[in-house]
Structure 1
Amino acid sequence: MIIVLKPDAPQEFIDKLTVSIKSKGLQIDISKGARKTVLGLVGDTSVIDRDQIQGSDYVDKVIRVEEPYKRVSRAFHPEDTVVSVNGIPIGGKKLAVIAGPCSIETPDQIEGVARDVKAAGATMLRGGAFKPRTSPYSFQGLRDQGLDMLCEAGKKAHLPVVTEIMSADKIDLFLHDHVDIIQIGARNMQNFDLLKAVGKTRKPILLKRGLCATIEEWLMSAEYIMAGGNHNVILCERGIRTFENYTRNTLDLSAILAVKHKSHLPVVVDPSHATGKRWMVEALSKAAIAAGADGVMVEVHNDPEHAWCDGAQSITPKMFAGLMDSLRQIAPVVGREL
């Protein structure tokens, strides 16, 4: 249930109403926009006398929210959310570009890529230290050592770092090593214990859509994180599994519009994992921005042919610089900027 207050509702009335609702065992999320204040009620709203509240002089309307997700819903939070990462926004007018290798290999490799993507205009550095792989015999990442390399490279390049967490027991390590955004990968989108654990932090979370997840399932996973108190959630569309096998996955650009309609959370797109083909990355990055994405996350490697992981979908630093030039041309056309 949401309660939309009139613009002239005094703070004294808001405070009194909030205390009354909380006394009935409900939680309240308060969203203050430019023109109105919205109270989002979470819990057993059957204890609320809707007619009594609706009759108040300061209440515009009372609406029951039909969706199973509440805090994620745009009805609860009409204004777009902007997640700040060390002062860098994800959401709003400015586009975020996250770039880096699929996996961290050596200090020279990750630091070289970090310098190159920073010079081209990337806003954040990505890299995999803990790698979930389909085969148990594939490279699983350098783990703790790789995490140290990534954080050091980010520090030297003055870029916030994004990397994937595999299990809740690693949260303290990620927080201690100053990871700026914790990524929940596609395979862990419905790892509910992990979602609850990162929900207890206040660290920004990049939540990738699962391989076969519907949009509602994806948003419900975000709800798990937000229900724990962490509202710093960024959604990432990275392609879903369909009958098509020419590309690694099928990039669902319609999901950008659907999520923007249903939710207030920012959305970025990962065309590298979606296609598995480096020659598609630039065109689909441009398409994602044109469709309303708040940014892109692409894989960049200085020697893709010899990458330890997913070289076929990684673009070179030179290709990344060309991609950034293209995005600079597209951004103003759709009212965004880099």
Structure 2
Amino acid sequence: MIIVMNKDAQHNEIENVLMLIQKLGLEFSILKNENNTVILTQPSYDINSELFKSLPKVEYVVTLNEDYKLVYKNINNLETKIKVGDVVIGGNELTMIAGPCSIESKDQLFRIALHLKNSGVKIIRAGAFKFRTSPYSFQGLGYKGLELLKELKEETGLMVISEILDHHDLPEFEKVVDILQIGARNMHNINLLKAVGESSKPVLLKRSYSATLKEFLFSAEYILMGGNKNVILCERGIRTFSDYTRNTLDISIVPAIKQRSHLPVIVDPSHATGKRDLIIPVSLAAIAAGADGLMIEVHHTPELAYSDSEQAIRLEQFDDLINRAKKVAEAVGRKL
């Protein structure tokens, strides 16, 4: 088991946990990091972890799970930090990923990206290939879009993330993108998961709109099994009976993942809400819940966007989000 104590746990409260561990005949070791005291015990599957959860100042308990050999926290990896250029995803500093849903033209891409760069963003999201519900909707610029992303990187120094739909396109994506994105509809695409698992590029895996936590983690396990340890999980909302928002943001899955997995998790409030006026408050809630970053759709003229126009915030709204997000991050001991 992994027993994580609250950061303000006193010596006697930690001793109470150790006394119970000794009473149960378990061996243990203690690790201290910048925020918590972590107590590691030998695996014991016949001991109820609830015994420890009820003790004062125990923040959470993780029972090592044989189903997820690579995704779950373990004694050698309590928290994975993924380095992309000079950005660390999963550390104390939050990561802001932003940009247009689709690449529409060079002028549109560069105009948005340069504004975001001036606002402090280092990773731009932009879709070259689009997975659309209707075959009549804009499908993206395809390889032309990848060429524009390459130009953007060369001229601005920005890093880029873009969604890959087909494992056959992986060689072309690897020449351009810094992070490969697996969209919600491809979370169950085993061939694609295995392909990116063999890539040297970090992977952002979005939760499918009907996936359970277990299914989500199993999809990540496929990627890690291929040898790629740099996986970022992304909550983007699930489908429920509610039709007020595009999806329903499962905010509780953020701390649930953080308790179980060493992988960083970010939140996409744009797809979760589908409504421009809800993105800022939901973003702030995600930070408060423990997300390691946000993924935001931004457009200079949202009403003219080729896709997802209702959920893209304006450039000035993004700047407002940054200012407010910094305050919430500081309140929960993080920074942006």
Relative to the length of structure 1, the TM-score reads 0.81
CA distance in 2: counterparts of 1:204 and 1:85, whole angstroms: 8
CA distance in 2: counterparts of 1:171 and 1:34, whole angstroms: 40
2:42 is aligned, of 52, 58, 61, to 61
**1:78 positional shift:** 4.2
Q: Greater CA deviation, 312-321 or 143-152?
A: 143-152
CA distance in 1: counterparts of 2:156 and 2:231, whole angstroms: 25
Count the aligned residue pairs. 285
> Which residue number in structure 2 is paired with residue 88 of structure 1?
87
Q: Which runs of structure 2 are paired with 1:125-140 in the superposition (5 Å)?
A: 125-140=124-139
2:180 corresponds to which letter in structure 1? I
CA distance in 2: counterparts of 1:129 and 1:67, whole angstroms: 38
**1:35 positional shift:** 6.6
CA distance in 1: counterparts of 2:285 and 2:188, whole angstroms: 28
CA distance in 2: counterparts of 1:67 and 1:145, whole angstroms: 44
CA distance in 2: counterparts of 1:229 and 1:319, whole angstroms: 39
1:226 corresponds to which letter in structure 2? L
8 Å Cα contact 1:114-1:154 kept in structure 2: no
CA distance in 2: counterparts of 1:192 and 1:312, whole angstroms: 31
Structure 1 residue runs without a partner (length 5+): 3-32, 37-58
1:127 corresponds to which letter in structure 2? A
Relative to the length of structure 2, the TM-score reads 0.81
CA distance in 1: counterparts of 2:265 and 2:41, whole angstroms: 30
Q: Greater CA deviation, 214-223 or 59-68?
A: 59-68
Structure 2 residue runs without a partner (length 5+): 3-29, 34-39, 46-63
CA distance in 2: counterparts of 1:77 and 1:305, whole angstroms: 49
> Which residue number in structure 1 is paired with residue 37 of structure 2?
none
> Which residue number in structure 2 is paired with residue 148 of structure 1?
147
CA distance in 1: counterparts of 2:131 and 2:240, whole angstroms: 21
8 Å Cα contact 1:167-1:194 kept in structure 2: yes
**1:151 positional shift:** 2.7
Quickly say closer, same or farther: Cα 1:154–1:280, change in 2 above 3 A: farther
Quickly say closer, same or farther: Cα 1:63–1:229, change in 2 above 3 A: farther
CA distance in 1: counterparts of 2:191 and 2:153, whole angstroms: 29
Question: Are 1:192 and 2:173 counterparts?
Answer: no
Deviation by residue 1:235-266 (Cα, 9 ceiling, x = unmatched) = 00000001111110000110101100110100
Question: Are 1:172 and 2:177 counterparts?
Answer: no
Quickly say closer, same or farther: Cα 1:337–1:60, change in 2 above 3 A: closer
> Which residue number in structure 2 is paired with residue 29 of structure 1?
none
1:87 corresponds to which letter in structure 2? D
> Which residue number in structure 2 is paired with residue 311 of structure 1?
309
CA distance in 2: counterparts of 1:125 and 1:249, whole angstroms: 23
> Which residue number in structure 2 is paired with residue 240 of structure 1?
238
8 Å Cα contact 2:237-2:248 kept in structure 1: yes
What secondary structure does 2:158 align onto? coil
Deviation by residue 1:96-138 (Cα, 9 ceiling, x = unmatched) = 0000000000001000100111111223100000000011111
2:330 is aligned, of 326, 329, 332, to 332
**1:87 positional shift:** 2.4
What secondary structure does 1:89 align onto? strand
CA distance in 2: counterparts of 1:105 and 1:118, whole angstroms: 19
> Which residue number in structure 1 is paired with residue 104 of structure 2?
105
**1:156 positional shift:** 2.5
What secondary structure does 1:113 align onto? helix
Deviation by residue 1:173-213 (Cα, 9 ceiling, x = unmatched) = 01122x00000000000100100000011210000000100
What secondary structure does 1:137 align onto? coil
8 Å Cα contact 2:98-2:124 kept in structure 1: yes
CA distance in 2: counterparts of 1:180 and 1:78, whole angstroms: 24
8 Å Cα contact 1:184-1:207 kept in structure 2: yes
Say what the alpha-carbon RMSD is for the aligned residues.
1.9
CA distance in 2: counterparts of 1:75 and 1:164, whole angstroms: 30
